Structure 1
Amino acid sequence: MRPAVRVAAAALAVVTSVHAFMWLAMREEVTAPGISDRLASMSFAPYGRDANPDKGEPTTEAQIRADVDAVAPYTKAVRTYASTGGLEHVARLAGEDGLKVTVGAWLDEDEARNEREITNAVEAAKKNSNVVGIVVGNESILRAERTPEQLIETIRRVKRETNVPVTTGETWDVWLAHPELVSAVDYIAAHMLPYWEGVTPQQVVDHTIAIYDRLRATYPGKRIVIAEFGWPSQGYNRDDAVPGELEQGQIIRNFVARADALGIDYNIIEAFDAPWKSFEGSVGQYWGLLDANRELKFPLSGPLTPSTYTATAAIALLLGIAFSLPVFRFARLTMTQALVMMGAASLVGAWIATVADHWITHYIVGGNVVTFIASIVLLVPLVVVMLYRVEELATIAFGHAPRRLLRNDGAKGDVMPARTPKVSIHIPAYKEPPEMLKLTLDSVARLNWPNFECLVIINNTPDPAFWEPIEAYCEQLGERFKFINLPKIEGFKAGALRVAMEKTAPDAEIIGVIDADYMVDPNWLRDLVPTFEDPTVGIVQAPQDHRDANKSLMHEAMNTEYAGFFDIGMVQRNEHDAIVVHGTMCLIRRAAMVEAGDWSSDTICEDTDLGLSIVERGWKSHYTNTRYGWGLLPDDFASFKKQRHRWAYGGMQIVKKHWHRMLPNGGTRLTPAQRREFGIGWVSWLGSESVGALVAILSLAWVPFVLGFGIAVPQRILTVPILFCFGIYVLHFCALYRLRVATTPVRMIGAAIAAMAVQFTVAKAVYDGFRYKDLAFARTAKGSWLAGAARAFPALPETVIGVGLMLAAIGLRMTNWHAVVEVDLFAFALAIQSLPFLAAALIGWLEGSSLNALETWASLRARALALLPGRAAQQTARVTVEKVTP
């Protein structure tokens, strides 16, 4: 057994044991008095799981009879709320099982129906001896569908037509407010639902008994029935009121024990869960003692434990183990590295098991089905990316050092290798400033390599001011430098490079590609070309870097953001021979290029496309993070976005061109590790950014429905992953920058802002990748003659969305009158989702501000030091010492 396998096995045993222990430790168990006898009464709505009486759907005698049989073992009586739509048969059928019935007559603004309700209720009382009362109307005054005078008149009419007690159902505060109503009824039917009052579960029973005592003291001698009492088993909290399966069981059992001991008449709401009651907030469907399948939701005696907890825990453990298995593929592994990755896998397993449990135990109906499934589909890429980032973090922070990275440790000195194959350096240029390109050619001329040529390919640049100075400069530099002018060439940069290949010297073995703005280190070829002595090597890639980072604060942020890719992502991908080839500072074996079909114009990222095609044919690639070239950063934020859009859009073209080759039988020589790196790399970059932006926009679109129409916010199992993934992103970014990138904390923050600022740009590029087959190549402005000219604000869409998200978050938080946890979580998620958009707005504003100039900060720092006693003299002394110290 390999050492790495032993480490993985030990780590899996540890993580699984801890995971299991946590599930055991978090398993709740509560106690409450048992219910030895049947309940006094239950609210009874005999409708099937898929029925919707609010749409006028009637029930049937068969359904009523089955539901009476279901509740008969648990209650002595039932209360109905209507006497039409089939409910007029309840009294007769309940009598067959010996149940007493309190008949309801529903009253609303439909007077014709009201008449039928009253007639049927009176008729049921006359024909069935088990009818013990009639409740005329239900919260009619509370809903303002009846005035007290109207309701009293109806009650008196029913009393005249029947011999059973007659009342109406209202909340306890309505009874206190209307003593005239009390005088009209035979008894008070008070609804007491402490959930809607925000009462904590521990105080519910005491609170209810206190209200009962208050009614009794206010109306001495009047019979009082708690006509509705209950607690929801699922849903969102309301202030301190927290629904839950255990809370429901404990509260109901405690209440029944107290009510029986005090001789209080009561009715529990309700017999069955009602899936159609999605309009009653998040808890409307979950008041039943029996679920929609007519199964008792909690035992009436003994300890109370979550009914699905054991199954959920078992699924979570199995999924955690399954998601941990990929760790066994690592050839090198440390214990800490394995523990971190398997811990994250177990966490994802627990989340998926919880989602499955939520789906089973909740009534997700109607449009909620689409919303729930769509949310899960959108969250899956984010979770995959989260696991990938945890893996990268664990590998870099706790794993072994990279093995395949080409390093320049200075041991080579000035020694030239024994063999110096010819290198043909290609520099494509499209409307590039001549003075900038001359600096690039000067650096090439200084290369410490005896055997090279340099081809400068000017393409689609008709203005002689751009190319005539370069043609003359190539003649001046000598025969090694060849000038090629292509006034009209198809295929963008790739088309120009194909012509360059035709003009390349026959004896050139290596093709080097650099951008027109790059100044290269004299030892670039001397240090890296010897890697090709291994005949299987097809590509050697050096990182990009920039020489104008000190141009502004924004440029520093951009430069540091680029550095993260080259010092973190590329180094790790190189370990699996799966680097992303970028068309500058790149050396390619000519034979590999010919085999791969030369530069292709199928995509606008011809460099990455060619690199992947070469690797697919089995050629090896190598990477060094030593800087051998320094170019120019985009002139402005608009150019930065344009460049990122080109990369992402080209990435989408590459995905469409190469995705089938990532499959196990894709017809390439890619290893499983390479397929995984390329596949997850696409998901991590293109998928997570586009999904993140889409989720943010959809969340923003959802807010008006929440604020304006009272639609429920997403469940916490859908919002917590967003927050968690963001936390992992922040941890991943900060930790890896500190470990791998030579920068300061302030520049790291700038890089984070720059990285977030192009999320919407990447998302738009992905959208464009589906919408458009081919977009024109867009040159990134660098060293432009127009630098500093007035430009439009470059982040208007991002600003609108970002401000909208933040205002929505603030609005939700400020209108969360009942401190609903899900609302606060959703608001927090909106605020988090606004950050990438606000980052773009911040950079767009900074670009036109004097704060973007580094001189401004230097001046502010000097002024701050001058205000501190004694610091100005110390600063002057320090500068003096630095000037005289050799």
Structure 2
Amino acid sequence: MRTVAAVVALVACVHAGLWLLGREKIDAPNFDGQLSSVSYAPFQGNVNPEDGGKAEAKKIRDDLKILAPLTKSLRTYSSTAGVELVPGIASEFGLRVTVGAWIDNHQDRNEREMRAVVDLSKRHSNVNGIFVGNETIYRGELAPKAGDKLSAEEAAKLQGAKSIAEDKKLREDIGVARLIKMIQKVKRQVNVPVTTGEIYSVWLDHPELVASVDYIAAHILPYWEGFSDKQTVDQAIIIYDKLRRAYPGKRVVVAEFGWPSSGYNYHNAYPGRIEQAVILRDFVTRAEAYGIDYNIVEAIDQPWKIFEGGVGPYWGMLNAAREAKFAWTGPVTDPDHWKLAGIALLVSVLLSLPILTLAGATFWQATTLAAAANTVGAWSAALFGYWYGHYFVPGAAFALGLGTLLLIPLILIALARIEEIAAIAFGRKPQRLVPVAPPLAPDMPTPKVSIHIPAYREPPEMLKATLDAVAALDYPNFECVVVVNNTPDPAMWMPIEEHCKVLGDRFKFVLANNLQGFKAGALRLATLHTAEDAEIIGIIDADYVVTPDWLRDLTPLFNDPAVGMVQAPQDHRDGARSPMHTAMNAEYAGFFDIGMVQRNEHNAIVTHGTMVLMRRKAIDAAGGWSSDTICEDTDLGLCLLEHGWQAHYTNKRYGYGLLPDTYDAFKKQRDRWAYGGFQIVKKHWRSMLSRDTRLSRDQKREFALGWLNWLGAESVGVVVAILNILWVPVIAILDIAVPDRILTVPIVASFVVTLLHFSALYRLRVRITKTEMAVAAIAAMSVQWTVARAVAMGLIKDHLPFVRTEKGGGRRKTDFHAFWESIVAALLLIGAFVLVQTNNKEVREIYIFAGVLVIQSLPFVAAVLIALWERSRFNDYAVLEGYRAGIAAVARRARLVKAKAQSVAPAQVVTQERGELVQ
């Protein structure tokens, strides 16, 4: 306990140290004066003036009280919707205002805006300039469009266009001419300088526009050109000088310069609070030194500007709560760094508390678990920081909430898998696992065992082999009850009846047609035909060939009266039938050699309806076999545990069955297990929450995590994949709402943990080759859709019929059994390709999201590969051996040719000492 506590504390200290080392502290030029000008939009929250929102005088006054110490002047972009109140209120604080008339393709609005700026300049002496339009030419608002009314002069210009490019240029020229007329109209009515705000390239391309204004108001925003934060200020100065050289004698004002504090990157331009602070402090300091007139965009964040590539809401020096994002003097740091560090450490400590309850945890086991807990703690802090540092419209908030909700089970599953890795790789060896060869004392009692074999339309020769193996058991006191149910064909049941007679009185044959209750009904019928003195019930499937030592080795465990069940693993004798069957068998082995061994440590094994021994008294106490689930074996096993019985597990193989005939049969079997498992969840979840059950805390935890790990992981994975497919057009076409890495990186991390869990534990516990491990991984991934579909059906329907798994038929199917998986795989891969190809801005989050789509496609691709593999000639060991032999022969011939070439080369040696040529 002390060691574990020390490890938890040590890892927490390391985590805290990483936060300390990770705190950015950057030097930047100090600025303690007032800014020349800042852009100001008097709207708060998600109030959008385009949707009829209006600014309020009180809120403007509150804003300007904050801004007055920071700046000498304000720039507005409109003079309606309440913005016209700004000059009057600004005069109360001694602030000058450059007012703007918003110009677009609505002529009536344009006239109102121009009238408003003229009126404001006449009424308020602190109005020191007018902007007629803002990036109007850049947006093409005044350029003629199809259906627009043109003057004779404009129409004549357009008729002379000889190419699309020339037509575009002519339309832009017409837009400039229209804007010039508006500027001239305003200039004639006012006594203050009049200009328009445009990106610098528009000024360079249109000298006629320069001639029409009193000064050049250039927007220089290197972010939108993809320059990095290190290049931005230099680039702004270069562009400013370029404009001065292009138009000597004309006043040049940097009418917009800024950097977003959050949002997506644009090529090499990455937003950030620290980047914003360093850039603005550097620019302002240099602008003041060089005598550059400038305006910073903008004063306060505008959350309603969600249409500007994700960065629109984040250009303010103050956030929407009117709090400063950075200081203008001293080292630049993230003011929220320690707040987030505190959250990360708090969550980490809370998640680490269960580690303290682990009995006998080793140093490295505790270290691994604590590191995982602290990683999740750091992610939680990042998630909080993302929520705290971003603005959300209802749709975006819902998307983040849904994404987080879906990530929680994935993170819990990843933690459970890391815990299993730590327990197996670094923890103590299993303590409850039944020894491979338990000692059997000569005088030890041999309780009577009744072996029940339910058979539904099984091939007679296969079932005969099962009965022969039972007859060969090295155990003196047993009987065998064979129930052939709902098999009307005499050719299938009569040979079994005759064979039972041949094997002797210990074998009882029961035929029952029209039997209800699936396999559970057959087992209930077998119970009615069980000898009264039988104390133990053994259940095996009709295809299982047991080894002679099964009962001899395992029945001694029932000498402990608390033991109600002993489970041996499933295994198969036809794994070499084809490469696909090898993959299936290797996939099954992982569960029995890894998961079952670990669950057994907590007396929480999953019961399987074959190779299991149960105390008859325990079965009766638990209510017997129930037909309300199609996994009656697991259901009854859980009932036994709920009644307080002990269960034991051995990973020694005592029986070998047959694998499903086809990939389709493999999927149907998994579908039945998953659907039945979900039925069991619905049936027993109250017991997991109740205090009346005799299940221990560890047992409840194992079953809950087992259900979540199996049913939840696959289901959530499919749901997230489908949602992501639906989201691709939103990103690729609408260019909005790109999932942030806070939501996508955990999916990648979860996949990495799954791969590590599979590969590490298979190598530690499962005795198979690396090739078998690889194909087992493909087989395991391939049933994700199958399991998710079964869970979905469990939500819709309470009961589905029991579907027999086809075995022993030896048929080679040619049908393609991964149609829906192929559709989903194709959509995911196409979506990833489309995102990469349309990511012209090189947004990092889009690349990550595309990578997530590729990762999510792997389970569906795996299903397609197996379905194709099953139909191909490569699903035949003889064919593969032929290819292997051919390749080996070619390699041998190549080596022989090389050796022969080397041996016949002329050996001429020049002996320099004698000057002779020796051959």
Q: TM-score range by the shorter chain?
A: over 0.9
Once the two structures are superposed, the pairs formed by residues 841-852 of structure 1 within 5 Å of their partners are 841-852=864-875
> Paired residue for 2:889, among 862, 866, 869?
866
Tell me whether 58-67 or 311-320 shows the greater mean CA deviation.
58-67
Structure 1 residue 591 corresponds to structure 2 residue 617: yes
- Classify the secondary structure of the residue corresponding to 2:269: coil
Counterparts of 1:871 and 1:600, CA distance in 2: 66
Structure 1 residue 743 corresponds to structure 2 residue 771: no
Length-normalised TM-score, structure 1: 0.96
Structure 1 residue 606 corresponds to structure 2 residue 632: yes
Q: Residues 158-192 of structure 1, C-alpha deviation per residue, up to 9 Å, x if partnerless?
A: 00010100001110011111111001110011001
Q: Residues 516-537 of structure 1, C-alpha deviation per residue, up to 9 Å, x if partnerless?
A: 0000001000000100000000
Counterparts of 2:884 and 2:607, CA distance in 1: 41
Q: Residues 787-809 of structure 1, C-alpha deviation per residue, up to 9 Å, x if partnerless?
A: 1244x310000011012111211
> Paired residue for 1:167, among 195, 208, 214?
195
Amino acid at match of 1:215: L
> Paired residue for 2:273, among 245, 251, 255?
245
- What is the aligned partner in structure 1 of residue 802 from structure 2? 777
Structure 1 residue 717 corresponds to structure 2 residue 713: no
- What is the aligned partner in structure 1 of residue 162 from structure 2? none
Tell me whether 86-95 or 335-344 shows the greater mean CA deviation.
86-95
CA apart distance, 1:300: 1.2
CA apart distance, 1:54: 2.3
Are the counterparts in 1 of residues 564 and 647 from structure 2 also a CA contact under 8 Å?
A: yes
- What is the aligned partner in structure 2 of residue 454 from structure 1? 480
Structure 1: gaps of 5 or more residues: 874-886
- Classify the secondary structure of the residue corresponding to 2:839: coil
Counterparts of 1:153 and 1:797, CA distance in 2: 62
- Classify the secondary structure of the residue corresponding to 1:408: coil
CA apart distance, 1:619: 0.2
- What is the aligned partner in structure 1 of residue 282 from structure 2? 254
The 1:241–1:872 alpha-carbon spacing in structure 2 relative to 1, beyond 3 Å, is closer
Once the two structures are superposed, the pairs formed by residues 413-452 of structure 1 within 5 Å of their partners are 418-452=444-478
Counterparts of 1:127 and 1:801, CA distance in 2: 65
Are the counterparts in 2 of residues 866 and 872 from structure 1 also a CA contact under 8 Å?
A: no
Tell me whether 254-263 or 55-64 shows the greater mean CA deviation.
55-64
Q: Residues 504-553 of structure 1, C-alpha deviation per residue, up to 9 Å, x if partnerless?
A: 10000000000000000010000001000000000100000001111111
- What is the aligned partner in structure 1 of residue 387 from structure 2? 359
Are the counterparts in 1 of residues 396 and 737 from structure 2 also a CA contact under 8 Å?
A: no
Once the two structures are superposed, the pairs formed by residues 130-149 of structure 1 within 5 Å of their partners are 130-146=126-142, 147-149=175-177
Counterparts of 1:137 and 1:522, CA distance in 2: 93
- What is the aligned partner in structure 2 of residue 827 from structure 1? 850
Are the counterparts in 2 of residues 538 and 621 from structure 1 also a CA contact under 8 Å?
A: yes
- What is the aligned partner in structure 2 of residue 392 from structure 1? 420
CA apart distance, 1:51: 1.5
Counterparts of 1:106 and 1:588, CA distance in 2: 83
Tell me whether 378-387 or 458-467 shows the greater mean CA deviation.
458-467
Amino acid at match of 1:213: D
- Classify the secondary structure of the residue corresponding to 1:167: strand
- Classify the secondary structure of the residue corresponding to 1:826: helix
- What is the aligned partner in structure 2 of residue 487 from structure 1? 513
Structure 1 residue 687 corresponds to structure 2 residue 712: yes
- Classify the secondary structure of the residue corresponding to 2:43: coil
Identity, % of aligned positions:
56
Structure 1 residue 707 corresponds to structure 2 residue 732: yes
> Paired residue for 1:117, among 113, 117, 142?
113
Amino acid at match of 2:372: A
> Paired residue for 2:183, among 134, 155, 158?
155
- What is the aligned partner in structure 2 of residue 879 from structure 1? none
Amino acid at match of 2:305: K
CA apart distance, 1:417: 5.7
> Paired residue for 2:36, among 37, 40, 45?
40
CA apart distance, 1:411: 5.6
Counterparts of 2:580 and 2:319, CA distance in 1: 59
- Classify the secondary structure of the residue corresponding to 2:874: helix
Counterparts of 1:34 and 1:572, CA distance in 2: 61
Once the two structures are superposed, the pairs formed by residues 755-834 of structure 1 within 5 Å of their partners are 755-784=780-809, 787-790=811-814, 792-834=815-857
- What is the aligned partner in structure 1 of residue 73 from structure 2? 77
CA apart distance, 1:694: 0.7
CA apart distance, 1:337: 0.5
Amino acid at match of 2:617: A
Counterparts of 1:553 and 1:323, CA distance in 2: 43
- What is the aligned partner in structure 2 of residue 408 from structure 1? 436
Structure 1 residue 312 corresponds to structure 2 residue 340: yes
- Classify the secondary structure of the residue corresponding to 2:310: helix
Q: Residues 439-475 of structure 1, C-alpha deviation per residue, up to 9 Å, x if partnerless?
A: 1011001000100000111111122222111111111
Are the counterparts in 2 of residues 802 and 837 from structure 1 also a CA contact under 8 Å?
A: yes
Length-normalised TM-score, structure 2: 0.93
Counterparts of 1:871 and 1:196, CA distance in 2: 59
- Classify the secondary structure of the residue corresponding to 1:742: coil
CA apart distance, 1:89: 1.3
CA apart distance, 1:602: 1.1
Are the counterparts in 1 of residues 438 and 553 from structure 2 also a CA contact under 8 Å?
A: no
- Classify the secondary structure of the residue corresponding to 1:49: coil
Counterparts of 1:261 and 1:856, CA distance in 2: 80
Are the counterparts in 2 of residues 417 and 530 from structure 1 also a CA contact under 8 Å?
A: no
Counterparts of 2:895 and 2:486, CA distance in 1: 56
- Classify the secondary structure of the residue corresponding to 1:852: coil
CA RMSD, aligned part only? 1.2
- Classify the secondary structure of the residue corresponding to 2:576: helix
Once the two structures are superposed, the pairs formed by residues 464-479 of structure 1 within 5 Å of their partners are 464-479=490-505
- What is the aligned partner in structure 1 of residue 217 from structure 2? 189
Q: Residues 99-146 of structure 1, C-alpha deviation per residue, up to 9 Å, x if partnerless?
A: 000000001111111111000000000111101110001111111111
Amino acid at match of 1:343: A
- What is the aligned partner in structure 1 of residue 3 from structure 2? 7
Amino acid at match of 2:119: E
- What is the aligned partner in structure 2 of residue 561 from structure 1? 587
- What is the aligned partner in structure 2 of residue 884 from structure 1? none
Tell me whether 361-370 or 614-623 shows the greater mean CA deviation.
361-370
- Classify the secondary structure of the residue corresponding to 1:579: coil
- What is the aligned partner in structure 2 of residue 877 from structure 1? none
> Paired residue for 1:577, among 600, 603, 620?
603
Q: Residues 683-735 of structure 1, C-alpha deviation per residue, up to 9 Å, x if partnerless?
A: 11111110011101111111011111112320001000000010111111100
Tell me whether 431-440 or 803-812 shows the greater mean CA deviation.
803-812
CA apart distance, 1:416: 5.4
- Classify the secondary structure of the residue corresponding to 1:551: coil
Amino acid at match of 1:172: Y
Counterparts of 2:805 and 2:736, CA distance in 1: 45
Counterparts of 1:709 and 1:50, CA distance in 2: 20
Are the counterparts in 2 of residues 190 and 224 from structure 1 also a CA contact under 8 Å?
A: yes
Are the counterparts in 1 of residues 437 and 553 from structure 2 also a CA contact under 8 Å?
A: no
Amino acid at match of 2:616: R
Amino acid at match of 1:15: V
- What is the aligned partner in structure 1 of residue 170 from structure 2? none
CA apart distance, 1:592: 0.4
Runs of 4+ in 1 over 6 A off after TM superposition: 870-873
CA apart distance, 1:288: 0.3
CA apart distance, 1:329: 1.6
Once the two structures are superposed, the pairs formed by residues 338-353 of structure 1 within 5 Å of their partners are 338-353=366-381
CA apart distance, 1:862: 0.5
Instruction: Work out the number of aligned pairs and report it.
Output: 864
The 1:113–1:8 alpha-carbon spacing in structure 2 relative to 1, beyond 3 Å, is same
Are the counterparts in 2 of residues 865 and 871 from structure 1 also a CA contact under 8 Å?
A: no
- What is the aligned partner in structure 2 of residue 529 from structure 1? 555
Are the counterparts in 2 of residues 552 and 853 from structure 1 also a CA contact under 8 Å?
A: yes
Counterparts of 1:96 and 1:404, CA distance in 2: 82
Amino acid at match of 2:85: H
Are the counterparts in 2 of residues 439 and 519 from structure 1 also a CA contact under 8 Å?
A: yes
Counterparts of 1:184 and 1:789, CA distance in 2: 80
